[in-house]
Structure 1
Amino acid sequence: MSAPRLVDRHPEIAAQELVAALTPPPRFAEVRFDTYVPNPDEPSQAAAVAAGRAFAARVGAERNTGFFGRMFGKKAPAEPLGLYLDGGFGVGKTHLLASIWHAVPSTAKAYGTFVEITHLVGALGFAEAVRRLSEHRLLAIDEFELDDPGDTTLVSRLLTELTDAGVHVATTSNTLPDKLGEGRFAADDFIREIRSLSARFTVVRVDGPDYRHRGLPDAPDPMSDAEIDAHAATIPGATVDDFTDLCAHLAKLHPSRYGKLVAGVPAVHIKGLTAVPDENVALRVVALADRLYDRAVPVAVSGKPLSALFTEQMLRGGYRKKYLRSISRLTALARDASR
């Protein structure tokens, strides 16, 4: 009997399900500030923990004016309602973001990736998304990035409406807010929107090396196809897919569905890994890698090593940090599979 395949799964997500799912993913369901271990050689990490604690305390202490409170001309807050955790990949920014979410003593809070939030707006409509999210005290957005002009305008409008309503916004990114979109599209054409976003955040820098690989060996070598089949056979429910077929399947699904695509899968096996053919495929693979990492799903591959997933040209381009983060996360999941 052949192993199940991800390409045979066609997840659908209703609008109500999107709202209910706005919580930290399984990997970050139990994290707290106390479980974040700052690198003693990187003082910015301990400072970021302190900033996160203070932000969460402020969110818990302040009263959200809500959607209708905006109509009565509430005075703007003395300081920005946003906290922006900026830094390289693998320094624990998502851990800190989830810790903020857990620390806020309210059920009126939402947590999602950037792509999940933009998809929510598309599914509900802008006005309805603003209405629902405006009743929250906190909106936490992971992996904040502006990859196209449409997202720039949409997110600028959304965060303007939400912060005007008194919603606190915490976010992580690998790019400073005034550099969003740089190297990807004509950011100069949207500088007003980008500056507007920047003004709504207090930026906290988190520096350091990638903790996922601190003192650990490199990624395991790729398996053979036969080894992939044998390994998958030992794990009930593990999937086995051809890399090219999987990439084609991802193109048929909105990235917001990738989490449900791998939900409940105990391990993912991919045959014939090779360098992605273009940037569109590359960004879908990045989104899938993030959802696999969120759910701590081990990944085993045959073909090329994970380090060859993105071309040298891609690693020199505007999405460089995204690609390096993806390799880092997949390497950690490959170690899990080898164990």
Structure 2
Amino acid sequence: MTRIQDTYADMVQAGDLHADPAQEAALPEFERIRVALQAPVKRGWFARKPEPIRGLYIWGGVGRGKSMLMDLFVSVVDAPKRRVHFHAFMQEIQAALHEARKADVEDAIAPVAKAVADEVRLLAFDEMQITDIADAMIVGRLFEKLFDAGVVVVTTSNRVPDDLYKNGLNRQIFLPFIDLLKQRMEVHELISPRDYRQDRLQGEQVYFTPADAAARKAIAAIWDDLTDGADQALVLVVKGRKVEIPRYHNGVARATFHDLCGRMLGPADYLALAEVTRLLILEDIPALGRSNFNEAKRFVTLIDALYEARVRLICSAADAPEMLYMEGEGVFEFERTASRLREMQAEGWGEA
């Protein structure tokens, strides 16, 4: 089996990747796990239980290539495996726990963890973040059982483990999970000066008006370039409610104005979105005013959340930011939103 370092070098030579010392420094950790997973498992009465394989928690800034490296790793591993967004995985776990509790089992986590471990030896998560207290309450025991069953976990994150679920409700209950991660996984920071996602947008138009067929075509091209055509819906659980993002891949989300502002969403929903999204494509922002005052208020709240979290924004709108809200209550207050929309269009915005 080809080493992951050789596969990476071949992609650089072919022009599919740029050689990056920070990425190359992370490759031995992936290769260590690949080799360990390929080793035959000795079976029999007198066979010693194999030493657990330490997983990998790779973290760093947005756009540094963490997800790309993990995808490359998963592609070369020959073992039962699954690559999934962490939030999507936790949604599945919560649903499975709900079903297990219906059977009145003493410990619902045990059969759920066993079902996962029976299917895979490797779980590869993209963007480990904890924003929901329901997840925070169960991840420690869930992962302890997965690790004990021999499941190897590789995950990316924008945060060092100690910052997971930072300032979350009842965080003290969550802290043993952080200790578990550091005990069972190597923590590797990907320190690269380059933000490849920003590089791909360099010189690109990011605010399209009017929101017509030409805008849709241009945005579709940007989306395909950023996601390589891969996407799926992402469901966030916020205070027990489900918030669906129609299209999502590796921290890039895509939705319409109606998806995010035409529904009864509030600040907590937009903050949760900003937690898991580093770039949002928002399409079909209409003219705002008396006829859609509530939607306009939600839009202001959304932009505030994105702005404070330094989320990059690409959008299509009926008019320029200063011309979007021309009549009705809230015109004066919208001036700040228009100013932020202008600032967010600047090349390099969101890097800080």
Q: Considering the TM-score relative to the shorter chain, is it more than 0.5?
A: yes
Displacement of 1:56 in angstroms is 1.9
Structure 1 residues 96, 270: closer, same or farther in 2, change over 3 A? same
* Letter matched to residue 74 of structure 2: W
Displacement of 1:204 in angstroms is 1.4
- Give the secondary-structure state (helix, strand or coil) at the position aligned to 2:123: strand
State how far apart, in whole Å, the 1-side matches of 2:215 and 2:237 are.
Answer: 21
Displacement of 1:177 in angstroms is 1.7
TM-score normalised over the length of structure 2: 0.58
* Letter matched to residue 128 of structure 2: F
Aligned match for 1:109, one of 81, 99, 102: 81
**Where in structure 2 are the equivalents of 1:26-37 lying within 5 Å?**
33-34=8-9, 35=11, 37=17
Which runs of no fewer than 5 residues in structure 1 stay unpaired? Answer: 1-31, 239-248, 293-297, 316-322
Contact residue 64 and residue 165 of structure 1 kept, 8 A: no
Q: Which residue of 2 aligns with 1:13?
A: none
Which runs of no fewer than 5 residues in structure 2 stay unpaired? Answer: 1-6, 98-108, 222-235, 288-298, 317-346, 348-352
State how far apart, in whole Å, the 2-side matches of 1:121 and 1:64 are.
Answer: 31
1:17-74, CA deviations, whole angstroms, 9 ceiling, x for partnerless residues? xxxxxxxxxxxxxxx745473554xx33211123222322222225499xxx9xx997
State how far apart, in whole Å, the 2-side matches of 1:124 and 1:193 are.
Answer: 20
TM-score normalised over the length of structure 1: 0.60
Pair 1:201-2:185 in alignment: yes
Contact residue 59 and residue 189 of structure 2 kept, 8 A: yes
- Give the secondary-structure state (helix, strand or coil) at the position aligned to 2:154: strand
State how far apart, in whole Å, the 1-side matches of 2:47 and 2:166 are.
Answer: 35
Structure 1 residues 46, 288: closer, same or farther in 2, change over 3 A? closer
Displacement of 1:330 in angstroms is 8.1
**Where in structure 2 are the equivalents of 1:1-339 lying within 5 Å?**
33-34=8-9, 35=11, 37=17, 40=20, 43-61=21-39, 63=41, 75=49, 77=51, 81-106=54-79, 108-125=80-97, 126-135=109-118, 136-208=120-192, 209-214=194-199, 216-217=201-202, 220-224=205-209, 227-231=210-214, 254=242, 258=245, 270=256, 278-284=267-273, 300=283, 302=285, 310-311=303-304, 315=308, 323-324=309-310, 326-327=311-312
Query: Cα RMSD (Å) of the superposition?
Result: 4.6
Structure 1 residues 181, 314: closer, same or farther in 2, change over 3 A? farther
* Letter matched to residue 231 of structure 1: A
Displacement of 1:281 in angstroms is 2.5
* Letter matched to residue 213 of structure 1: Q
Displacement of 1:128 in angstroms is 3.9
State how far apart, in whole Å, the 1-side matches of 2:143 and 2:315 are.
Answer: 31
Q: Which residue of 2 aligns with 1:28?
A: none
- Give the secondary-structure state (helix, strand or coil) at the position aligned to 1:133: helix
Q: Structure 1 vs Structure 2: percent identity of aligned residues?
A: 25
Whichever of the two has the greater Rg, that structure is: 2
Structure 1 residues 189, 314: closer, same or farther in 2, change over 3 A? farther
State how many pairs are aligned.
258
Displacement of 1:201 in angstroms is 0.8
Structure 1 residues 114, 74: closer, same or farther in 2, change over 3 A? farther
State how far apart, in whole Å, the 2-side matches of 1:213 and 1:313 are.
Answer: 16
Contact residue 271 and residue 305 of structure 2 kept, 8 A: no
Contact residue 112 and residue 141 of structure 1 kept, 8 A: yes
